[in-house]
Amino acid sequence: MPVAASLKRRHRNKRLVYKDVKRKPASNRGMVKALYGERPAMNRFKEVNGAPKRTTTSVMRKCGIAYKPQGSWRRSRHSSQTPRATPGTGRRAAGIGTESRKGKVREMRTAETILGLIRERGKRGLPLERVYKLLYSRDLYLMAYGKIYRNKGAMTHGVTDETPDGMSLAKIDALIEALRYERFEWLPARRTYLPKKNGKKRPLGMPVWTDKLVQEVIRLILEAYYEPQFSDRSHGFRPERGCHTALKEIHYKWKGTVWFIEGDIAKCFDNLDHELLLNKLKEDIHDTRFIELMRDLFDAGYMEDWTYNETLSGVPQGGIVSPILSNILLDKLDKFVENTLIPQYTRGATKKRNPEYTKLWNASKLQRQKGNTEEAERLRNAFQKLPSKVTSDPDYRRLNYVRYADDFLCGFIGPKEEAEAIKQQLKTFLQDELKLELSEEKTLITHARSEAARFLGYELIRLHDDCQRTKRADTQTMCRNINTQIGLLVPKDVIEAKSQRYLGQERKAKHRSELLEYEDYSIVLAYQLEYRGIANYYQLAHNMYHLNRLKWVMETSLAKTLAHKHKVSVSKVYEKHAAKLKVQGREYKVLQASVPREGKPPLVATWGGIPLKRNMGAVLEERTTRLWNNRTELVLRLLADFCELCGSEEDVEVHHIHAMRKLHEYPGRPKPEWVQRMIALRRKTLVLCKRCHMAIEHGLPITWTLITLNEVKAQRSAKLKTILESRMR
């Protein structure tokens, strides 16, 4: 009872009250909007009698933040009530909020306030306390919900069949109750096995929806705390950062780099050490219950939640908490480089001037003063072929470093032996401190001037062109500005590999048979999305126009696919679909396909119309490169989330067989429907509901009604369209 009494008292004195007159029914989107979205923030909180926002103080307390000198809010048990405060009921509602007798006034701490205070604490490098209690805040769940419900795969269920569909306040409250009494348990991530090229299978974790929600809340808290502490040199999985910020930093700030050290940590994300990570968390977060929750999370297998889809940067994408956790651990590497290696390998303010260059420069100046313009010009041409600074100044060293997820790159100005030493130091540090292996053969040291280094799917090379001159902003003199700059290029082999998928025999573009069953609109859209993904990703490249080759191959393949589908010639396809589109003042020849809609303008998908112009202001999005290969096709079918036999949407999973041959050799007679269907679909996989799958596995007869093959195709096409459109944004 004393607990309840103190809670009651505490709550009674809250000056910030939340007016929640009618609680919305459990419809999810409406609820989020009503509670969170559109109402302006000011309306949500009423400041009673103009008192300072006391909630802040209470949040500070909860976060373990030393609070301001105590005001009147913390009263003794015997003090009198503030006359205006609503009397408490002593009843404590679920969640952090408490309800008054009328059930109308609810105290609520905004998620932003909580996170803001954690951020403040992170900035000052102070440890966090009482973090577990933050997990009782309903507001954080609503924020988390708003962040993840749109995510790809959010609607795909995990071990249980709950999806965000059934999301409600009651559910959040139940979750909070479970956490409060430590009844909450992480369910092991559902493992769906996707076949790999080499015949092996790769697990793909699909956490349950409530677990995703709790994970997102944890992620929000960790991000708020660690984000201000992370190094500026780390760019992966961080807000407002990405491949583009990493690459731009190299382009603008790494002038004169002599050696690149390409860091490659062998299987970094599979090998992240849980104990090290927990120890790091323990250092910063003084809350045993929270740490135990994290330990359980690791045990449930959520740290292995990385998807190794092929992305343009070559960096795998994690689940919800794994990216930030990997950053927390690898931050130690950043700090090691920053605090140990960089100071060790920084020497001299500027490079020495080249005496040879200076001599000729002075001579040229003298000749010009004497009026011997011709001689002066000859000397000028001579010195401009020389570097103006000493290239290997023994008193000058610089070391640069960037990291994106497990991929890091160092740029070094100095001799090769020292570059080797740096690599060795990195290797030792990773081994001793992080228990990670620096892959010896993949960690290359490349000479920037003569070889290209690879980073995030780009080729990096030190540019050199004595003839190209630009005006210096400060002195207005013409100089060889481009020299020593780091150029970003689309690698030839990337263009080659991307084109390869559209090429058949004798390197001629071919149609894509797996797309034939879809509508024209979806086919055009699929090609465009794939091409646009690549074009967007390489917007920082100096040689972006090289993508023209890929565009041509893809366009031919697209035309052939459409021709094949309608059994007409390619020129007929162009006749039907060709159009002109004006983009940035330039006219482009494009292909278009549309779907008429009733009472609305038709949906139009366009192929082409993307200018291949370098754009250093671009924000690169990390995308998977291919929508179309057997694996992603299976992912799409899985995402379509219905049984390809009976149409049910319950507990959908994938049925695999080892070889098509097995189907034809099927011993029973006649061949059951599922065998016929797999033969008709020409696939070694069939997406099935649990009921059908069980029946097939155990050879039981299927007595329920099945849908036809055409219905499967129609349903799949419709689902695909929505998936593609959701990727369009």
Run of H or E residues at 586 = strand 586-597
> Interface with Zn ion includes 712 (CB under 5 A)?
no
**Least Cβ distance, residue 166 to Zn ion (angstroms):** 22
**Least Cβ distance, residue 683 to Zn ion (angstroms):** 16
Nearer to Zn ion, 162 or 641 (CB): 641
**Least Cβ distance, residue 646 to Zn ion (angstroms):** 3
**Least Cβ distance, residue 253 to Zn ion (angstroms):** 57
Residue window 481-510: x/- pattern of binding to Zn ion, with contact defined by CB under 5 A: ------------------------------
Nearer to Zn ion, 217 or 688 (CB): 688
**Least Cβ distance, residue 671 to Zn ion (angstroms):** 18
Stretch that binds Zn ion, among 86-94, 333-341, 446-454, 686-694 (CB under 5 A): 686-694
Handedness of CA 372, 374, 377, 379 (dihedral sign): negative
Name which of residues 84 to 113 contact Zn ion (CB under 5 A).
Answer: none
| Residues making up the chain, counted from first to last | 729
Name which of residues 31 to 70 contact Zn ion (CB under 5 A).
Answer: none
**Least Cβ distance, residue 642 to Zn ion (angstroms):** 8
Nearer to Zn ion, 547 or 696 (CB): 696
> Interface with Zn ion includes 645 (CB under 5 A)?
yes
> Interface with Zn ion includes 648 (CB under 5 A)?
yes
Give exposure, 314-338, as e/b (b: 16+ Cβ within 10 Å).
ebbbbbbbbbbbbbbbbbebbebbe
**Least Cβ distance, residue 641 to Zn ion (angstroms):** 12
Nearer to Zn ion, 163 or 648 (CB): 648
**Least Cβ distance, residue 677 to Zn ion (angstroms):** 11
Amino acid at 217: V
Amino acid at 7: L
Q: Rounded CA gap, 273 and 115, in Å?
A: 27
**Cα separation of the two ends of the chain:** 54
Among positions 169, 689, 695, 696, the unique one binding Zn ion when judged by CB under 5 A: 689
Handedness of CA 488, 333, 439, 421 (dihedral sign): positive
Q: Which of 220, 221, 225 is nearest to 127 (CA)?
A: 225
Residue window 589-628: x/- pattern of binding to Zn ion, with contact defined by CB under 5 A: ----------------------------------------
Q: Rounded CA gap, 115 and 121, in Å?
A: 10
In eight-state DSSP terms, residue 339 is I
Among positions 643, 687, 696, 724, the unique one binding Zn ion when judged by CB under 5 A: 643
**Least Cβ distance, residue 289 to Zn ion (angstroms):** 43
In eight-state DSSP terms, residue 701 is P
Q: Which of 400, 201, 442, 212 is nearest to 314 (CA)?
A: 442
> Interface with Zn ion includes 715 (CB under 5 A)?
no
Among positions 652, 692, 696, 712, the unique one binding Zn ion when judged by CB under 5 A: 692
Nearer to Zn ion, 114 or 643 (CB): 643
**Least Cβ distance, residue 688 to Zn ion (angstroms):** 5
Nearer to Zn ion, 182 or 649 (CB): 649
Q: Rounded CA gap, 619 and 544, in Å?
A: 15
Q: What is the DSSP string of 522-555?
A: HHHHHHHHHHHHHHHHTTT-TTGGGHHHHHHHHH
Nearer to Zn ion, 405 or 646 (CB): 646
Among positions 559, 646, 695, 712, the unique one binding Zn ion when judged by CB under 5 A: 646
Q: Rounded CA gap, 499 and 509, in Å?
A: 9
Stretch that binds Zn ion, among 280-288, 415-423, 596-604, 638-646 (CB under 5 A): 638-646
Stretch that binds Zn ion, among 168-176, 583-591, 652-660, 687-695 (CB under 5 A): 687-695
Stretch that binds Zn ion, among 125-133, 267-275, 633-641, 643-651 (CB under 5 A): 643-651
Nearer to Zn ion, 517 or 673 (CB): 673
Provide the H-helix boundaries in 452-519. 492-500
What string of H, E and C letters represents the secondary structure of 83-112?
A: CCCCCCCCCCCCCCCCECCCCCEECCCCHH
Stretch that binds Zn ion, among 183-191, 220-228, 673-681, 683-691 (CB under 5 A): 683-691
**Least Cβ distance, residue 704 to Zn ion (angstroms):** 8
Nearer to Zn ion, 415 or 672 (CB): 672
Beta strands, E only, 450-548 = 453-455, 458-462, 470-471, 478-479, 486-489
**Paired strand residues for 489:** 459
**Least Cβ distance, residue 689 to Zn ion (angstroms):** 3
Stretch that binds Zn ion, among 161-169, 545-553, 626-634, 684-692 (CB under 5 A): 684-692
Q: Rounded CA gap, 80 and 72, in Å?
A: 11
**Least Cβ distance, residue 687 to Zn ion (angstroms):** 9
Pairs from 240-245 (Cβ < 8 Å, separation ≥ 24): 242/619, 242/620, 242/621, 242/622, 243/313, 243/404, 243/456, 243/457, 243/537, 243/620, 243/622, 244/540, 244/618, 244/619, 244/620
DSSP strand pairing (128-129 vs 285-286): parallel
Q: Rounded CA gap, 142 and 110, in Å?
A: 10
Residue ranges binding Zn ion (CB under 5 A): 643, 645-646, 648, 689, 692
